[in-house]
Amino acid sequence: MTDNIHDLSEQQLAELIAVASKQLEHKRGSKKRETIAQIKELAASIGVQIEIIDGSNKATRAGSKVAVKYRDPSNPKHVWTGRGMKPRWLKSLLDSGRSIEEFLV
């Protein structure tokens, strides 16, 4: 380890951190590949074939679009899906005595 780490500039420290991070990831990857190879070798020695499923390739759930349910007739940009809190534009119209059914799309 570097004894004069306190003497390094910010840029030198950032470069050191970047290099160290890359090296750490490389070592972790190597160790992971070695471990997987050992597991497969042990499984093959007893006549078992295995498949390693890596958790890093998880499918991410994409957010689904929800159809617009309510629209402000005076400003078509004001819309609401009916989920979550009522928007201010709708709340003020409802407070003035109008019915929510008037704004259904």
Measuring CA to CA, which residue among 39, 47, 91 is closest to residue 70? 91
Per-residue pLDDT, 38: 94
Q: What share of the chain in percent tops pLDDT 70?
A: 91
Across 17-26, average pLDDT: 96
Express each pLDDT in 30-79 by its tens digit: 999 999 999 999 999 999 988 888 776 666 677 788 899 999 999 999 99
CB within 8 Å of 36: residues ≥ 6 apart: 52
**How far is the C-alpha of 99 from the C-alpha of 81, rounded, in Å?**
16
Instruction: Name the residue ranges covered by the structural domains of the chain.
Output: 9-52, 70-103
- pTM here is 0.45
